Amino acid sequence: MATPSAAEDRTAIRQLTENWVLWRDAGDWDRFATVWHPTDGWMTATWFQGRAADFVEASRAGFERGVSILHFLGGHTADVVGDRAVAQTKMTISQRAEVDGVLVDVVCTGRFYDFCARDEGGWTIVRRQPVYEKDRLDVVDPGTRLTLDPVLLGRFPVGYRHLGYLQTKAGFTVRTGLPGLTGPAVRRLYDEGARWLAGSATAGDPPGAEQGAR
């Protein structure tokens, strides 16, 4: 079998990232499970840090409860070295929920930063780490008024301040200190990506792994 070209690898990785969003948001759980590395898959989100299989089940449970979290993708790039890659994809996370009885939309803009690997089954995601760049909150009915708690709002980094606020109000435990546009967390992520491409044994040290969930 011919070795895939660099262009073919990048096309396959782009399709992988698109499948993640389409299958997850549509609730196509069996196919969603196939985008992850079968043994080492790891997902970090504001509300979840853990093994990919557990993320699939947590996403399914939320979907069935009516939790509305949707994604949209933009530009994409991938650095490929042999059977490893680091992909970055511009994205938005959109969540709708009630905050203190008022229906709101939060839109968070950022990037998916993916550690990928190829085996006989093709490319899979070993670790997904979103980078949260900025967000905003809007009331769905412009005739309503919502006052936010500044103490709770200030608990979260600027990149996902309103998303963290909404999710906390919805009952989720939201992790702080996740990567943003600048700062030590995102610089550490870039270093981990470089080491992954250079052949490191693991895909960095993802948030949550220190608690023994991985």
Closest CA to 177 of 191, 192, 158, 193: 158
Distances (CA, A) of 88 to 26, 59, 91, 149, 170: 22, 22, 9, 34, 29
Confidence category of residue 214, pLDDT binned at 50, 70, 90: very low
Q: Tell me, yes or no, whether 212 lies in a domain.
A: no
Residue 136's domain comprises: 6-197
Q: Is residue 169 part of a domain?
A: yes
pLDDT value of position 208: 83
The number of domains in the chain is 1
- Asked if residue 214 belongs to a domain, the reply is no
- For residue 141, being part of any structural domain is answered with yes
Q: Note the pLDDT of residue 1.
A: 52
Confidence of residue 4 (pLDDT cuts 50, 70, 90): confident
Whether the predicted pLDDT of 21 surpasses 90: yes
Cα separation, 130 vs 61, in Å, equals 21
Whether 213 is covered by a domain: the verdict is no
What pTM was estimated for this model as a whole? 0.94
Whether 212 shows a pLDDT value over 80: the answer reads no
Residue 82 falls inside a structural domain: yes
Sheet with strand 122-139: strands edge to edge: 49-51, 42-44, 122-139, 102-119, 84-99, 68-81
Contact 148, 161 (CB under 8 A): no
Tell me: the pLDDT tens digits for 51-95? 999 999 999 999 999 999 999 999 999 999 999 999 999 999 999
4-20 core/surface letters (b: 16 or more CB in 10 A; e: else): eeeeebbebbbebbebb
- Round the CA-based radius of gyration of the chain to a whole number and report it: 18
Helix (H) or strand (E) holding 127: strand 122-139
Residue-wise pLDDT tens digits, 150-192 = 999 999 999 999 999 999 999 999 999 999 999 999 999 999 9
Residue 206 lies in a domain: no
The tens digit of pLDDT for each residue in 110-150 reads 999 999 999 988 999 999 999 999 999 999 999 999 999 99
Domain harbouring 57, CATH code: 3.10.450.50
Greater confidence, 1 or 182? 182
Work out the angle at residue 162's Cα, subtended by the Cα atoms of residues 211 and 139, and round it to the nearest 5 degrees: 145
Report yes or no on 88 lying in a domain. yes
